[in-house]
Amino acid sequence: KQLPSMNQRISDAYNHTRDFVNFITKTLPSAKINFVSQELALLGFTPSVFSLDLPTKGTTVEEKETYKRALNLKLINLMITKIPNESKFCVSYGQLKGSYWTIPATSTQGTTKEGDKDYIVRVSLSPNMNLALHKKVFLEFATNI
């Protein structure tokens, strides 16, 4: 049996995530975002996790990959530095407070071949966080890349 507040927390976390994803889409349209479609959300699938593939620069594949990896860390470090009480660099889903940022390719513990890893940012948001501050810091990041 679920606690009565659980469904509300799931809904609130999803709403924060949808709002933040929409903000990123408007702020940095060249970023690729993997998040549940509106259609699936209407059917009740409302996760609070999304993947962010930041835009890259460079002329060679290696330059582009190096730039993207550095940009991923720049974003994560900025969020953690500017919002230290709410942002953590780890994998966590369903948390009650704050936001969690990670690069899944660095946490697969050797189970995936290097060539198959995708260096993206994975973000998990909670129902209890300062969404306006997260948007402000992301805007700062997007403005400076």
- Domain of 29 in residue numbering reads as 4-143
82-97 pLDDT per residue, tens = 999 999 987 665 577 8
53-62 pLDDT per residue, tens = 999 999 999 9
Q: Which long-range contacts (CB under 8 A, 24 or more apart) does 103-112 make?
A: 103/69, 103/72, 103/73, 103/76, 104/51
Does residue 118 have a pLDDT over 60? Answer: yes
> What is the average per-residue pLDDT within 10-35?
97
39-72 pLDDT per residue, tens = 999 999 999 999 999 999 999 999 999 999 999 9
Does residue 110 have a pLDDT over 70? Answer: no
**How many domains, in total, are found in the chain?**
1
Please give the Cα distance from 110 to 61 (Å, whole number).
23
Best-predicted range by mean pLDDT (98-107, 117-126, 129-138): 129-138
Return mean pLDDT, the chain.
Answer: 89
Per-residue pLDDT at 85: 94
Element (H, E) at 76: helix 61-82
Closest listed residue to residue 41, CA positions, set 60, 22, 62: 22
Per-residue pLDDT at 145: 93
Per-residue pLDDT at 92: 60
Q: What share of the chain is helix, strand, coil (3-state, %, to 5)?
A: 50, 15, 40
CATH of the domain at 53: 3.90.1150.10
- The answer to whether the pTM exceeds 0.85 is yes
Residue 69: CB atoms within 10 Å: 16
> What is the average per-residue pLDDT within 123-140?
97
Two tokens, residue 48: 């609070």
